[in-house]
Structures are given as C-alpha cells and as structure tokens.
Structure 1
Amino acid sequence: MRRSIGVEEIEDMALGATVLGAGGGGDPYVGKLMAIEAIRRYGNVELVSPDEVPDDALVVVSQMMGAPTIMVEKICSGQEPMATYDELVRELGQEPYAIYAVEAGGVNSTIPFILGATRHIPVIDCDLMGRAFPELQMTTLGINGVKGMPAVLADEKGNTVTVHGIDDRWLERIARQATSVMGGYTILASYPCTGKQLKDYCVRNTPTLCETIGRTLREAREEHRDPIDAVLGVTNGYRLFKGKVHDVARKTDGMFVRGHAIVDGLDADKGRQLVIEFQNENLIARVGDEPLCMAPDIIVSLDVESGQPVTTEGLKYGARIVVVGMPCAPQWREPQGLAVVGPRAFGYDLDYVPVEELAAQHAEGAQA
C-alpha cells in the first residue's frame, strides 16, 4: 500500500525510531530537521511496501556512519545523501527504483526521506535491522550472503570514497577508517540489491512501526496517560529497571561511542544498581552479573516523566529513567543472526536469552 509521508509523519517517525534505535542510530533532531526541510522544499515522499517493488528492480540504502556524538557537533551540509546517491548511480550505471533505510535510528530512519524528497523517488517500508546496530555487516542482507557493495561515502566537505571489498566485514573496516579520516561521520549509499533479495530478507514495515511508536508516545503525553506503558504496548516491551543515572563513562574513539552507564535504583529497584554497556547502541543491561536484557534484543532508556527516549550520547548524571527491553526482529534469533549480533559477537561471555525469558525469570525471583 502506497502512502504519502509529510512533516507530521516524519516528526512521529523520528521519535519512534529513537526508541527502536537502542540508544544509537544518530541524533534524531538533526535527521528530523534535514528530512522536514527537504519535504517542505520538494514535497512529500511516497512510502511503498516491499511487495510493490518489482523483483528485478534495483534498490539501495542511504544512511549515516560514524560516532553519533560527532554528528551533534559537526552538522551535515545537507548535500551528502545526494552526493553518495549520484556517485553510486554512476558506479552502477542505472537509477534505483527506490531507496530504503539500513536501520531504525534517529537519523538513519529519516535520511532516506531526504533523498526521496530531493530526487523524487519512493522509500520502501522496511529496513535491514529492525533496530540499530553499530557495524555495517550487521544486516539481514549480510547474514544471507548479499554484500553491501559497492558503497559510496561522502563527508560535508564534498569528499567521496567508493569501496569495493571482498566481504562486508572488510567493508566495515575500510569504511570505518575512511569515516574516521573524514571527520568522524559520513553519509553512505550502500547495499544495492534486487527487489526480490530485499523482499526475501528485509525487516518489513519498520518505518511504519517507528511512526506508530512516535504517534503513540505523542498522543499518550497529550492525553496525560503513562507514555512508557503506551510505548511498551506497541512494542511488546518490558520494564526492566527504574533509576537515576549515577555515572556515565563515555569515549569517542573516532569510530564508535563506547562506554557504560551506572543507574541507581528507585522505588521498587531501590538498593540495586543497573549497568548499561554500549557501543553506539546499548548492548547489555545487568544488575551485578545478572543480565536483564542483551543484544540483539533492544535496550532503551526512557525519561521517567515524558517517556522521551534517551540516546547513549544524551545520558547524563542525575537523569531519571526507566530502562526497558523489547524483542528484536526474529531473524536475529536464528543461529546465523546470533553469530553476528549476539552477546558473544560483542565480546560478552554469555549465551543469548530472549528478553521475555529473562523478564519471566526476574518476575519469579521477585515473587520468591
């Protein structure tokens, strides 16, 4: 089903994408403003379902790569999505039928709409993660053997780099180093594939889900309902921990934002302490050695009062948050998915346990 995406839809989508972004995916405010400006200047964008894309059509990703904190400090020129798109068109020798998002994240969910408005091409209602992950090879196309290349990177100064690698791990390594040299973030055009490949392997309806989450959160605030309960209702999520941020250790190494946050418990969690560990995105939430949620499931901090999602770069001492966990897309719970984005892929000596099982164990422990 085709539908038109305008300013109000982008507002809701950016908010909802920040929830699914697991603390990462880039600054939502920057991406939202860029998409809104493009729509106001060039008109609404057509959102199409994956099933409406012909099997033999060419489709491509438009995305941001780099440390989210840097994008807050070094604003885009606004021309990077078009520069990467035009260069990839020259490389491939044909115009794509449509574009799509690599992930759900504050900026990466809205960047395709900048390009869609400017170039008057549709955006597909899907992505390759159903959330945000920190590395380029962590996609549902990648785990099914569809390479992300050629990929074109551009910075705000007008430099472009085209990468042809032997596999997606090499794409990640080469593009990450180039991104570091180019100032800490770049905009990419990548993952060219056929409509059939996309339909076979994508996570469907992620932009629509982002919009639904954002609209639900906005309406709950307007109607003075609990915004956190409202979000959990549309994401099948779980309240994991309520607390006050005691400390944040965060370092940008030119490639990722890495660190952890320590949260002192409040109310029912008083006397306990939660640790959230992140690499751009939140990867594990634990109390002592007891995990409450782990990648690939989604961990996100929501403001106690407003339900506003708090990104990893936005976590600050004294913030009062509710940490929630949400199930990931089912593709990630398969062996080939866990091999790439499970706890052990990020260096944790843990076997993956779904958030719903951990929540049930925690509830049983609290009642005992």
Structure 2
Amino acid sequence: MDLKIEDVDDLCTGAAFLGAGGGGDPYIGGLMVKEELRAGRRIRILDPDEIDDDLLVIPTAMMGAPTVLLEKIPSGDEPLRALQAVETALGRRADATMPTEVGGINSTIPLFVGARLGLPVIDADGQGRAFPELQMETFAIEGIAGTPMGIADEKGDFATIRTEDHHRMEWIARGITIRMGGTAYFANYPMRGAEVKRASVKHTLTLARRIGAIIRTARARRIDPFEELETFLATTSYGVARRIFSGKITDLDRQTDRGFTLGQVTISPDGPGADCVIAFQNENLSAKADGALLAIVPDIITVLDSETAAPITNETLRYGQRVTVMAVGVPPIMRSERALRQFGPAAFGLADTYVPLGPF
C-alpha cells in the first residue's frame, strides 16, 4: 500500500492520540512527509505479516523533550545520518525502516526517511503508543539488541553507540541528546523481518490513520467522536477505550529537565467533584481524582479538546482549555509481566500497581 498525501493529516491526528500526550507534536513531521510526496516521492507501507524473514529493518525516530521541538525544527538530514551510521556499523544497507513508536512525530520520521531514501516502511512499531525512554520497547522485551545505534543533530554532528545493555543505551543517548540541544534523531534496534513479526506491535500506522479519520469524519457528520472512538477501539487489539474525565485546565506545571518534559496538569470538573491530576514524563503516566487512580501506564491516557476531539500534546496544553480525558488499553504484548517491568508504573518510580482498564 502506498501512503497518499490525503492520508497524512489523519495519520498525524491518530498518532497524537496514541502518543498519550507525548512523542512530539506530529505536525512538523507531517509537513515534512507532505513535501516529500509533493516532490513525487513514494512511501510504501508494508504489512509486517507479509515481509521476508531476512529483510533488514532499521527503525528511525526522534528523542528528547517535546517542548524543545517547538523551537528546534529538524533540517531533515538528521535521521538519514543516523540510519547511515547504523548501516556503516553493520556493513549492510537497510531494506526497510519502521517506527520505534507510533505516537507523535515518531510516526512520521520513518515515513520521511522512507520517502527520501526509497525504503519501504513497516506498518508496526515497538511501543503501540509513545514512551519516553529507549529501553521501553517490545523489541527490548523480546531480546532484540538495541545497538549499533546512530544519533545525529541538525548541525551535522553524529555518533554511533554500541552497548549490550538497553538501559545503558538510553543513558548514553540521553546525555548526547542533551548536549545536542535537547532533541536528536536516531536509528536503533536493527532487526530481521522475522524479528519484526515476533517483537512488534503490528498495524499501528494503519490504526493511527483510522483513528484520525474517525475524529475528522465524526466532526463532519456531527456525531459524537468520543463514542465513535470507544466503539472502534473496542474492536482492536487495544481492547477498551473510555472517557474518564472532562473539565477545564486550571493548573499546569511543566518544565524541561534531564532531556524530558516533566510535570503535571490539573483539570477541574464542570460540576461538583474532585480535580483530575495527570502526571507526565513526556507522556501521560497516571490520572487520579481525589487520590483515586483513573488510569496508569502502560495504558494510554490522552487529553482531547472537548469540542473537536483533537488530541492535545503536553507541550501545547494551556490554562483554560476545555478537555476530555480518554484512557485506552494496550495490546497483550504490552501487558505481560516482562512488559510491565520495562514500562509499567514501577519503571517510572510510581508506587501504584497497574490495574488494567477493563476486561480483555
């Protein structure tokens, strides 16, 4: 399947929804992809179930604080240099690329790379949403080596990282990203097609595009987009989606620190009742009201405009916005015991125990 220019906005909207408030606003990445398509380049999307087992796939993405991305616009060369650094380390050219995460701008970076280099893009990723750290991948859970990893910035600087430890890969790359100005672009977890089939969350680019289309067409048809999303997501491997809070943003604590966007947002209800407080590290981690847990990682917590259902990323949250908070379950590969050790509540230092959203 080829990605068409008319699909890009829907995909970006869905990616922002799945990004759980983080992943970087996909708007900039969407513009980059559209320019490639307008230039006549092709973006082929491959079904992960149908790829050759020996295909060499090198994922590409952005890392860093999403707030920095608002002012530090990519040149477009960064992910290309990162990918080429991995190819040089492996001594072989990539046959395809794919997202490390479907959320936010990282749904679009591999599309741009695929268009510019003539590489197909696999319809799958390693998170099924967005997470802030490089070891928080289904790839890592399934034993795929994270390096060699290439990382590059807009100034032409790049580095190659080699380590056998996924957490150390994150630690080294985070330090480089901070010194590159708070954001950088990378390629890591090189793998074969057989490993993609075993270790990825499948068909997530298609899922993002479908979510975006639901939000767009529901508005046009004057039907409830939240109800449409709940109905659709219940038919997917994510299993459940529901509205957990609505109201107005009345307080926001947001800062850039250690290469992340950290803080919390407070939403006051329209009527009587306790405020909802959402804590985030790039992505939303937990939602609580009067101390009671409403949702927690790895489930997706996403903040949407109450009128349009447009997803609001954490770097664009503002006082006074009227919002609806939705929570979405995650696929089984993301709820295993090994997965929860990698990106469950304890991985973020949270004392709460993971409680799935609903029956699966």
- Return the TM-score normalized by structure 1: 0.94
Retained in 2: the 8 A contact 1:24–1:68?
Answer: yes
1:42 Cα deviation from its structure 2 partner:
4.0
In structure 1, the residue corresponding to 2:189 is in which secondary structure? strand
Distance 1:180 1:282 in 2: 21
Aligned counterpart in structure 1 of residue 358 of structure 2, from 352, 356, 364: 356
| Structure 2 unaligned blocks of 5 or more | 235-240
Listed one character per residue, the Cα deviations across residues 91-113 of structure 1 (whole Å, up to 9, x for unaligned) are 21111111100112221001111
Counterpart residue number, 2:30:
32
| Structure 1 unaligned blocks of 5 or more | 358-368
Counterpart residue number, 2:43:
45
In structure 2, the residue corresponding to 1:299 is in which secondary structure? strand
In structure 2, the residue corresponding to 1:24 is in which secondary structure? coil
Counterpart residue number, 1:258:
262
Retained in 2: the 8 A contact 1:42–1:118?
Answer: no
Distance 1:156 1:38 in 2: 19
Distance 1:168 1:33 in 2: 32
Runs of 4+ in structure 1 over 3 Å off: none
1:344 Cα deviation from its structure 2 partner:
1.4
Retained in 2: the 8 A contact 1:228–1:302?
Answer: no
1:333 Cα deviation from its structure 2 partner:
1.1
Q: One-letter code of the match for 2:249?
A: V
1:138-149 superposed matches below 5 A:
138-149=136-147
The alignment of Structure 1 onto Structure 2 pairs a total of residues equal to 353
Distance 1:348 1:88 in 2: 35
Distance 1:39 1:165 in 2: 37
Aligned counterpart in structure 2 of residue 106 of structure 1, from 98, 104, 107: 104
Distance 2:232 2:259 in 1: 33
Counterpart residue number, 2:310:
308
Distance 2:85 2:127 in 1: 25
Q: One-letter code of the match for 2:319?
A: Y
Q: CA RMSD in A?
A: 1.1
In structure 2, the residue corresponding to 1:4 is in which secondary structure? coil
1:196-215 superposed matches below 5 A:
196-215=194-213
Listed one character per residue, the Cα deviations across residues 164-193 of structure 1 (whole Å, up to 9, x for unaligned) are 013110000000000000010011011101
Q: One-letter code of the match for 1:338?
A: L
Please say which of residues 52-61 and 147-156 is displaced more in the overlay. 52-61
Q: Is 2:287 aligned against 1:285? A: yes
In structure 2, the residue corresponding to 1:355 is in which secondary structure? coil
When residues 40 and 254 of structure 1 are mapped into structure 2, their CA distance, relative to the original with a 3 A threshold, is farther
1:202 Cα deviation from its structure 2 partner:
0.5
In structure 1, the residue corresponding to 2:279 is in which secondary structure? strand
Please say which of residues 219-228 and 278-287 is displaced more in the overlay. 219-228
Counterpart residue number, 1:243:
247
Counterpart residue number, 1:193:
191
1:254 Cα deviation from its structure 2 partner:
4.4
Retained in 2: the 8 A contact 1:12–1:214?
Answer: yes
Q: Is 2:320 aligned against 1:318? A: yes
Counterpart residue number, 2:238:
none
Distance 1:348 1:87 in 2: 36
Please say which of residues 22-31 and 48-57 is displaced more in the overlay. 48-57
